[in-house]
Chain A
Protein backbone atom coordinates (compact mmCIF):
# COMPACT_ATOMS: atom_id res chain seq x y z
CA UNK A 1 0.00 0.00 0.00
CA UNK A 2 1.04 3.57 -0.59
CA UNK A 3 2.82 5.08 2.40
CA UNK A 4 4.44 8.44 3.04
CA UNK A 5 6.44 8.54 6.26
CA UNK A 6 7.78 11.86 7.46
CA UNK A 7 10.63 12.73 9.77
CA UNK A 8 10.10 13.62 13.39
CA UNK A 9 9.28 16.85 15.15
CA UNK A 10 11.76 19.71 15.02
CA UNK A 11 12.42 22.76 17.16
CA UNK A 12 14.29 25.70 15.68
CA UNK A 13 15.16 29.22 16.65
CA UNK A 14 14.03 32.18 14.54
CA UNK A 15 16.30 32.69 11.56
CA UNK A 16 17.32 29.03 11.37
CA UNK A 17 16.36 26.48 8.71
CA UNK A 18 14.57 23.17 8.91
CA UNK A 19 14.55 20.20 6.55
CA UNK A 20 11.66 17.74 6.60
CA UNK A 21 11.80 14.39 4.83
CA UNK A 22 9.01 12.33 3.28
CA UNK A 23 9.93 8.71 2.57
CA UNK A 24 7.58 7.00 0.16
CA UNK A 25 6.82 3.36 -0.49
CA UNK A 26 4.21 1.20 -2.15
CA UNK A 27 4.34 2.93 -5.53
CA UNK A 28 6.85 4.11 -8.10
CA UNK A 29 8.31 7.31 -6.66
CA UNK A 30 8.91 8.70 -10.12
CA UNK A 31 5.25 8.40 -11.11
CA UNK A 32 3.75 11.14 -8.95
CA UNK A 33 4.67 14.63 -7.89
CA UNK A 34 5.01 15.45 -4.22
CA UNK A 35 3.18 18.37 -2.70
CA UNK A 36 3.90 20.09 0.58
CA UNK A 37 1.13 21.52 2.76
CA UNK A 38 1.28 23.10 6.18
CA UNK A 39 -1.24 23.75 8.93
CA UNK A 40 -0.70 26.11 11.83
CA UNK A 41 -2.41 25.28 15.08
CA UNK A 42 -6.15 25.78 14.77
CA UNK A 43 -5.81 27.04 11.22
CA UNK A 44 -6.60 25.78 7.74
CA UNK A 45 -4.50 23.96 5.19
CA UNK A 46 -1.98 25.96 3.21
CA UNK A 47 -0.34 24.68 0.04
CA UNK A 48 3.37 25.42 -0.07
CA UNK A 49 4.76 23.83 -3.20
CA UNK A 50 5.22 20.81 -5.44
CA UNK A 51 8.12 18.87 -6.87
CA UNK A 52 8.48 16.56 -9.84
CA UNK A 53 10.59 13.61 -8.62
CA UNK A 54 11.94 12.79 -12.07
CA UNK A 55 13.12 16.19 -13.22
CA UNK A 56 13.49 17.81 -9.84
CA UNK A 57 11.47 20.74 -11.14
CA UNK A 58 9.46 22.49 -8.47
CA UNK A 59 7.08 25.32 -7.92
CA UNK A 60 5.91 27.06 -4.82
CA UNK A 61 3.33 29.50 -3.59
CA UNK A 62 4.54 33.04 -3.97
CA UNK A 63 4.84 33.67 -0.23
CA UNK A 64 7.36 30.84 0.11
CA UNK A 65 9.37 31.24 -3.09
CA UNK A 66 12.37 32.88 -1.50
CA UNK A 67 12.59 30.59 1.52
CA UNK A 68 11.59 27.12 0.36
CA UNK A 69 13.68 24.44 -1.33
CA UNK A 70 12.26 21.12 -2.43
CA UNK A 71 14.59 18.25 -3.33
CA UNK A 72 14.54 14.49 -3.60
CA UNK A 73 16.72 11.41 -3.41
CA UNK A 74 15.50 8.98 -6.02
CA UNK A 75 17.65 6.17 -4.63
CA UNK A 76 15.61 6.09 -1.42
CA UNK A 77 12.29 7.41 -2.80
CA UNK A 78 12.39 10.36 -0.46
CA UNK A 79 11.38 13.97 -0.91
CA UNK A 80 12.59 16.87 1.18
CA UNK A 81 11.28 20.28 2.10
CA UNK A 82 13.67 22.87 3.46
CA UNK A 83 12.38 26.15 4.83
CA UNK A 84 14.88 28.84 5.69
CA UNK A 85 14.88 32.04 7.72
CA UNK A 86 12.23 30.63 10.03
CA UNK A 87 9.84 32.90 11.90
CA UNK A 88 7.52 32.14 14.77
CA UNK A 89 4.56 32.03 12.40
CA UNK A 90 6.20 29.14 10.54
CA UNK A 91 5.33 26.95 13.53
CA UNK A 92 2.99 24.39 12.04
CA UNK A 93 2.49 20.80 11.05
CA UNK A 94 4.07 20.17 7.66
CA UNK A 95 2.61 17.46 5.43
CA UNK A 96 3.71 15.84 2.20
CA UNK A 97 1.01 14.57 -0.14
CA UNK A 98 1.20 12.46 -3.25
CA UNK A 99 0.20 13.51 -6.72
CA UNK A 100 -1.81 16.38 -8.09
CA UNK A 101 -4.87 14.80 -6.47
CA UNK A 102 -3.31 14.67 -3.01
CA UNK A 103 -4.51 11.10 -2.61
CA UNK A 104 -2.12 9.98 0.13
CA UNK A 105 -0.56 12.03 2.91
CA UNK A 106 2.32 11.71 5.30
CA UNK A 107 1.57 11.71 9.01
CA UNK A 108 2.83 15.27 9.40
CA UNK A 109 5.90 16.82 10.99
CA UNK A 110 5.51 19.38 13.75
CA UNK A 111 7.93 22.27 13.39
CA UNK A 112 8.15 24.65 16.30
CA UNK A 113 9.96 27.95 15.91
CA UNK A 114 10.77 29.52 19.24
CA UNK A 115 13.55 31.53 20.79
Chain B
Protein backbone atom coordinates (compact mmCIF):
# COMPACT_ATOMS: atom_id res chain seq x y z
CA UNK B 1 0.00 0.00 0.00
CA UNK B 2 1.11 3.54 -0.72
CA UNK B 3 1.73 5.71 2.33
CA UNK B 4 1.22 9.46 2.16
CA UNK B 5 3.14 11.75 4.47
CA UNK B 6 1.65 15.21 4.75
CA UNK B 7 3.34 18.21 6.33
CA UNK B 8 3.09 20.29 8.34
CA UNK B 9 0.43 18.84 10.65
CA UNK B 10 -0.68 22.32 11.61
CA UNK B 11 0.20 25.89 10.79
CA UNK B 12 -0.87 29.44 11.47
CA UNK B 13 -0.82 32.21 8.92
CA UNK B 14 -2.24 35.65 8.36
CA UNK B 15 -4.65 37.06 5.84
CA UNK B 16 -2.77 37.77 2.64
CA UNK B 17 0.00 35.24 3.32
CA UNK B 18 1.10 32.49 0.96
CA UNK B 19 1.23 28.98 2.39
CA UNK B 20 2.39 25.63 1.05
CA UNK B 21 1.35 22.17 2.19
CA UNK B 22 3.31 19.13 1.08
CA UNK B 23 2.43 15.49 0.53
CA UNK B 24 5.01 12.83 -0.16
CA UNK B 25 4.24 9.35 -1.40
CA UNK B 26 6.48 6.44 -0.54
CA UNK B 27 6.27 5.27 -4.13
CA UNK B 28 5.48 6.91 -7.42
CA UNK B 29 1.83 7.74 -7.99
CA UNK B 30 2.06 9.67 -11.23
CA UNK B 31 -0.41 12.53 -10.93
CA UNK B 32 -3.14 10.56 -9.13
CA UNK B 33 -3.32 13.10 -6.34
CA UNK B 34 -6.31 15.02 -5.02
CA UNK B 35 -6.47 17.83 -2.46
CA UNK B 36 -9.47 18.38 -0.21
CA UNK B 37 -10.52 21.13 2.15
CA UNK B 38 -12.62 20.26 5.17
CA UNK B 39 -14.18 22.70 7.59
CA UNK B 40 -15.53 21.56 10.97
CA UNK B 41 -18.83 19.76 10.62
CA UNK B 42 -18.62 19.75 6.84
CA UNK B 43 -18.04 17.19 4.14
CA UNK B 44 -14.61 17.27 2.47
CA UNK B 45 -14.58 19.49 -0.59
CA UNK B 46 -12.37 18.65 -3.55
CA UNK B 47 -10.07 21.52 -4.52
CA UNK B 48 -7.54 19.99 -6.88
CA UNK B 49 -7.53 16.78 -8.91
CA UNK B 50 -4.91 15.22 -11.13
CA UNK B 51 -2.34 16.96 -8.91
CA UNK B 52 -2.78 20.36 -10.57
CA UNK B 53 -6.29 20.74 -11.97
CA UNK B 54 -8.46 23.26 -10.17
CA UNK B 55 -11.97 22.12 -9.40
CA UNK B 56 -14.66 24.28 -10.95
CA UNK B 57 -15.71 27.08 -8.65
CA UNK B 58 -12.61 26.91 -6.47
CA UNK B 59 -10.82 30.26 -6.18
CA UNK B 60 -7.70 30.64 -8.27
CA UNK B 61 -5.60 31.38 -5.18
CA UNK B 62 -5.50 27.59 -4.73
CA UNK B 63 -3.04 25.67 -6.87
CA UNK B 64 -1.46 22.25 -6.90
CA UNK B 65 1.77 20.95 -8.35
CA UNK B 66 3.98 17.91 -8.40
CA UNK B 67 4.12 14.42 -9.80
CA UNK B 68 5.63 11.10 -8.87
CA UNK B 69 6.25 11.27 -5.15
CA UNK B 70 6.16 14.92 -4.10
CA UNK B 71 3.19 17.24 -4.29
CA UNK B 72 2.29 20.67 -3.01
CA UNK B 73 -0.86 22.64 -2.40
CA UNK B 74 -0.27 26.36 -2.45
CA UNK B 75 -2.69 28.99 -1.27
CA UNK B 76 -1.75 32.52 -2.20
CA UNK B 77 -3.25 35.61 -0.63
CA UNK B 78 -4.98 33.80 2.23
CA UNK B 79 -8.53 34.71 3.12
CA UNK B 80 -10.18 34.13 6.52
CA UNK B 81 -12.45 31.47 5.02
CA UNK B 82 -9.40 29.36 4.11
CA UNK B 83 -9.11 28.34 7.74
CA UNK B 84 -9.70 24.58 7.50
CA UNK B 85 -8.02 21.20 7.46
CA UNK B 86 -6.49 20.12 4.17
CA UNK B 87 -5.97 16.52 3.08
CA UNK B 88 -4.21 14.92 0.18
CA UNK B 89 -5.39 11.64 -1.31
CA UNK B 90 -3.56 9.35 -3.67
CA UNK B 91 -5.60 7.06 -5.88
CA UNK B 92 -2.91 5.42 -7.97
CA UNK B 93 -3.31 2.19 -6.07
CA UNK B 94 -5.68 1.46 -3.20
CA UNK B 95 -6.43 5.01 -2.08
CA UNK B 96 -4.83 6.55 0.97
CA UNK B 97 -5.08 9.95 2.62
CA UNK B 98 -2.44 12.12 4.13
CA UNK B 99 -2.76 12.84 7.83
CA UNK B 100 -4.13 16.33 7.26
CA UNK B 101 -2.88 19.87 7.79
CA UNK B 102 -4.84 22.15 10.08
CA UNK B 103 -4.52 25.72 8.83
CA UNK B 104 -5.45 28.51 11.20
CA UNK B 105 -5.81 32.01 9.87
Instruction: Please report A residues at the B interface, Cβ cutoff 8 Å.
Output: 35, 37, 44-47, 50, 59, 61-62, 95, 100-103, 105-108
B48–chain A nearest beta-carbon distance, Å: 10
- Cα A72 to Cα B8 with chains together (Å): 38
Nearest CB on B from A35, distance (A): 7
B46 touches A101 (CB 8 A): yes
13 A-B contact pairs sorted by A residue (CB < 8 Å)? A44-B87, A45-B36, A45-B97, A47-B94, A47-B97, A50-B95, A59-B94, A95-B44, A100-B91, A101-B49, A102-B36, A103-B46, A105-B43
CB distance from B18 to the nearest CB of A (A): 24
Residues of A near B36 (CB, < 8 A) are 45, 102
Residue of A nearest to B92 (CB): A100
Say whether B25 faces chain A, with CB atoms less than 8 Å apart: no
> Which B residue's beta carbon lies closest to that of A105?
B43
Residues of chain A contacted by B7 (CB below 8 angstroms): none
Contact with A along B39-58 (1 / 0, CB 8 A): 00001101001100001000
- With A45-B97, A103-B49 as contacts: A108 and B43 at CB distance below 8 Å: yes
